[in-house]
Structure 1
């Protein structure tokens, strides 16, 4: 909830036992949690009940156990999926893409190992999204991401090249994973950027983009896990005073380049007044 990071687990069945195992794997990798929040999925409620029964068998209530671990489990009210918006926003977008991709791929073509590795790649893609800039240096902008908060490391490993031929994908499972990851990256990035940028008619005046604003550039040729973050160097107001095109300097490109882009192709991350 603090890092806005996503953790995806592959489970065998939608049962309480699989849910508990997934929780144990999560705690083993990420450390103990202070609070769990979820909807009222049958496997979640069942897992909570099974934990409660297990603790009662040992003459200790689950509440006492959770308090000793400084952890609580909070369920949303029934039929209130909107109350999980802070986490459903990312998961819902990823789930829609994964549903369509895996239905097209077919169950027989995706092994358990491929699926687990693919879910790890999906997690890395989602957690590489930019949150806010933490550096005002236009020559070396540092963008905070959920992955940086989790790993305490900046940057992402480059994606290995994947041969897209059908023969190569069938022969090498790792290439199959990379092909799936590239497809997910293209679809998810497009949907995520549309979520960031609201489409509204200009019935009333909005704040114009200004020189010095930190923006996210919609770079259609960006590689996986790469986000083109830039600073607006110049604005071009129209006759009515509205800015519809800007010059954006992207320092992450080597060498740094300046692009002329319409405002529909940039997403404001941080206003110049707050840099």
Structure 2
């Protein structure tokens, strides 16, 4: 087995080195019409931290440049500056690559390049046919899909809307980020479990909302 990339073992703050991919789509109810309900497609952009294995998901309305840049802006605003974005041009990213003007040699979209340069961020692409190099975030996509499928199956009778999909994605993010990073101790004197959410929020567990009014 080859050595891990340096950004997998860095001591920088979370989401400094990020793996990026796009998955979906899902059909959501966009608006009500006289003949029924109009549907539209939605996609999700997953950002996976290379060091602590935390994820961040943004829902986008289309695969065009403006939607993708807006997702990047929301991610940078919430998680802070990013030094390096990694992605591939695999099957999950093909349609997005065509719209965003990305090929095997990199991104040729001037708007995206300008935005990344202004934020001091680089976008590095894995070699073609090297899906194993994207295993760290492809694994997260598989886990997120299974959790989302379970949620949709539980609420199969309800119409999926854009707002509901965003809520589900936020809950999927919370569930994935609550997974333990190390072996869970059976010692009752050490009940604390180290998770990505712990490193991000400095909070342990999921305590209930305190009673009373704010």
TM-score relative to the length of structure 2: 0.58
More helix per residue: 1 or 2? 1
**What's the counterpart of residue 199 of structure 2?**
149
**What's the counterpart of residue 43 of structure 1?**
96
Instruction: Give the root-mean-square deviation of aligned CA atoms.
Output: 3.4
Deviation at 1:34, TM superposition (A): 0.9
Say which SS state the counterpart of residue 58 (structure 2) adopts.
coil
**What's the counterpart of residue 9 of structure 1?**
58
Distance in structure 2 (CA, Å) of the matches to 1:18 and 1:11: 6
Equivalent pairs counted in the alignment come to: 152
Deviation at 1:105, TM superposition (A): 5.0
Query: What are the ranges of 5 or more consecutive residues in structure 1 without an aligned counterpart?
Result: 56-61, 160-275
What pairs up with 1:79-158 in 2 under 5 angstroms? 79-99=129-149, 102=152, 109-132=159-182, 138-158=188-208
Deviation at 1:140, TM superposition (A): 3.1
Runs of 4+ in 1 over 3 A off after TM superposition: 44-52, 65-70, 99-108, 133-138
What pairs up with 1:195-214 in 2 under 5 angstroms? none
Distance in structure 1 (CA, Å) of the matches to 2:199 and 2:97: 27
Distance in structure 1 (CA, Å) of the matches to 2:139 and 2:73: 24
Q: Is the 2:174–2:197 contact (alpha carbons within 8 Å) kept by the matching residues of 1?
A: yes
Say which SS state the counterpart of residue 14 (structure 1) adopts.
coil
Query: What are the ranges of 5 or more consecutive residues in structure 2 without an aligned counterpart?
Result: 1-49, 210-214
Say which SS state the counterpart of residue 60 (structure 2) adopts.
coil
TM-score relative to the length of structure 1: 0.46
More strand per residue: 1 or 2? 2
Deviation at 1:106, TM superposition (A): 5.6
Larger radius of gyration, structure 1 or 2?
A: 1
Distance in structure 2 (CA, Å) of the matches to 1:113 and 1:43: 22
**What's the counterpart of residue 54 of structure 1?**
111
